[in-house]
Amino acid sequence: MAPHAETADRAVDGWYASNSKATPDPLYTVDSPNVVYTDSTIKTKYTYRTTSVTKSANGPYVASPKETVYDFQVDRAVGRVGMMLVGWGGNNGSTVTAGIIANRRGLLWDTREGKQAANYYGSVVMASTMRLGIDSATGNEVNLPIHDMLPMVHPNDLVIGGWDINSMPLDKAMDRAQVLEPTLKELVRAEMALMKPLPSIYYPDFIAANQEDRADNVLDGARACSAHVEKIRQDIRDFKTKHELNKVIVLWTANTERFADIIPGVNDTADNLLKTIKTGHEEVSPSTVFSVACILENAPFINGSPQNTFVPGVIELAEQHRAFIGGDDFKSGQTKMKSALVDFLINAGIKLTSIASYNHLGNNDGKNLSSQKQFRSKEISKSNVVDDMVASNDVLYKKGEHPDHTVVIKYMPAVGDNKRALDEYYAEIFMGGHQTISMFNVCEDSLLASPLIIDLVVVAELMTRISWRAHVDGAADKDYKGFHSVLSILSYMLKAPLTPPGTPVVNSLAKQRAALTNILRACVGLSPESDMTLEHKLF
């Protein structure tokens, strides 16, 4: 994409670049009677194969192969997409905005190590590949960028806006964050100076008291109310209209809130939650208000912080409106390593018995987390990421057995956005032996989180254009419908992935990525990725 400049009058509270095709030419097509391409859609007939397992009282397990036929339909036209960030003026918000501008303009800047070019490293959608198949001539794998598997919005084309409890324009917020190189900041400063966050919701009880001095850009009222819901809805509509958008994706990258209490009659059902918001109950958090506004406005809402934004009433409301939600908490550095390493150890038959995780960081996130109630939210999201992997192996872990797991976070202003993460994994090995793995991970926090914001928005937008129907007794359902309101496909990017009620949570990084890539393959009529490579093993 060629560098270009955007006119200033289009960038007061957002930014748009339109020199990419709405429906780009595909890098591949699928040659199959089960796949039909039209100018507007990709239609696929797909056979989903699983294994159903039953067990009698005293007998063995019985495994039965099961097949279900689905029709998938993908709208090919991406349209114009807006990304609205709650906490736009924070480290993540200012960093991802500057990064998108730099990529859009194809910027180069000087560093101590030489010239640096803008890139989307760290984004699984933009900077990683997945296997398409095997080259029929050479037998080698053919891999394509994930972004090119289906029509997806390009990050360069996102219109960016949002809210913040602090009024600082984005150029000054970028300086305050102390994340980007000074030479890069000067190249994007003019654009960033034109961007100013909309007033946000501030309920002091939900974030640390040390954030009060930042709260100079807030809506009136210190408790949830219908007026706040309607104001956020209006902000989304205004943004959409002003920039002529087809849809808006909203993502929370603001402060970690304390957990809200789940109270019968208050936030346990959709009806109770809506009534509670009208009366201004103290257990309705700002993030829950944002999620309700987005659901009512049919704007997908993603929670990038660890609090329990999605109380039962929110999930029920999303289901009623067939609106998309996803969360919780960006999985960027230490936790991503943990979910990969624990999966490896347990799958290798090594019995992990304790995990000790220590963090210190100096950005505003660390300052907010120095409050015990907010730390507790983060501790929960970091601590549950091994549960499904432990539960999968009853050879190593008997019923109720679980590794000791401790998480510590300390605020150390001097390290800024360069978070230090120290982990010790202690495990039992063969014949009473032990293995200890110690890991020291320096994570440039916002530079890891920003690509995740992009991934979450791009994939969430794609899900708005995919519909499906099942075949029952050989006949297809009459109507297509969308995925479940809870977007579990986003799990790869989130520490505490939200799943539809009654379905298991998957934290294994490999399984999460496979779910993402295999759903993309299903949408174009391809079987799940297989590593059997039988074509190279059989005579």
Average per-residue pLDDT for the chain: 91
Cβ-Cβ contacts under 8 Å for 114 (sequence gap 6 or more): none
**pLDDT of 38-80, one tens digit each?**
999 999 999 999 999 998 888 899 999 999 999 999 999 999 9
Which pTM does this prediction carry?
0.92
Among candidate residues 330, 440, 364, the one with its CA nearest the CA of residue 178: 364
What topology is assigned to 334-444 in CATH? Answer: Dihydrodipicolinate Reductase; domain 2 (3.30.360)
Q: What are phi and psi of 75, to 5 degrees?
A: -75, 125
Instruction: Output phi, psi for 82, to 5 deg.
Output: -105, 145
Q: What is the DSSP string of 107-131?
A: -EEEETTEEEE---TT-HHHH-EEE
Give me the residues paired with residue 470 across strands.
70
Crossing angle between the packed helical segments 182-193 and 91-104, to the nearest 10 degrees: 90
The neighbour count for residue 440, using CB atoms within 10 Å, is 9
The one catalytic residue among 382, 417, 419, 445: 419
Closest CA to 324 of 211, 465, 438: 465
Q: Which of 309, 328, 330 lies closest to 318, judged by CA?
A: 309
* Cα distance between residue 209 and residue 207, in whole Å: 7
Catalytic option among 196, 338, 382, 495:
495
In the block, residue with structure tokens 């960027």: 332
Residue with tokens 């890891």, as numbered in its chain:
448
**Pairing label, strands 159-164, 81-86:** parallel
Average pLDDT value for residue range 27-38: 95
φ, ψ for residue 352 (rounded to 5)? -70, 125
pLDDT digits (tens, 9 = 90+) for 202-257: 999 999 888 899 999 999 999 999 999 999 999 999 999 999 999 999 999 999 99
Q: What is the pLDDT of residues 408-417, one digit of tens each?
A: 889 989 988 8
Active-site residue among 13, 157, 171, 329?
Answer: 329
Q: How confident is the model at residue 24 (pLDDT cuts 50, 70, 90)?
A: low
Say what the pLDDT of residue 307 is: 94
Q: Is the dihedral of CA 264, 269, 271, 273 positive or negative?
A: positive
Residue 248: φ, ψ to 5°? -130, 135
DSSP collapsed to 3 states, 173-202: HHHHHCCCCHHHHHHHHHHHHCCCCEEECC
Residue-by-residue DSSP string for 354-375? EEEEEEEE-SHHHHHHTSHHHH
Clarify whether 378 is annotated catalytic: yes
The confidence score (pLDDT) of residue 7 equals 31
In terms of pLDDT, which residue wins out, 376 or 138?
138
Which pLDDT score is estimated for 490?
97
90, with CB counted inside 10 A (0-12, 13-18, 19+), is buried
- In terms of C-beta density within 10 A (0-12 exposed, 13-18 middle, 19 or more buried), how is residue 53 classed? exposed
Enter the tokens of residue 37: 């391409």
- Nearest C-alpha neighbor of 377 from the set 315, 294, 287: 287
Instruction: Clarify whether 419 is annotated catalytic.
Output: yes
The tokens 């009534």 sit on which residue?
A: 275
Query: Above 80 in pLDDT, residue 82?
Result: yes
Name the strands in the sheet holding 475-476, side by side, starting at the edge strand that comes first in the sequence: 35-37, 41-55, 61-75, 466-472, 475-476
Q: Are 421 and 333 in contact (CB under 8 A)?
A: yes
Residue among 442, 121, 490, 153 nearest 329 (CA): 490
**Ranges 20-29, 34-43, 436-445: which has the least confidence:** 20-29
What is the β-pairing status of strands 41-55 and 35-37?
A: antiparallel
> Which tokens belong to 438?
């110690």
* Candidate list 185, 367, 378, 382, residue with the active-site label: 378
- The interaxial angle of helices 312-321 and 270-279, nearest 10 deg, is 110
The percent of residues in the chain predicted with pLDDT above 70, rounded, is 95
Domain ranges (residues) in the chain: 334-444
Please give the pLDDT value at position 360. Answer: 87
- Write the CA distances from 243 to 17, 232, 258, 294, 357, integer angstroms: 11, 17, 35, 18, 44
Phi and psi angles of residue 422, each rounded to the nearest 5 degrees, phi first: -120, 125
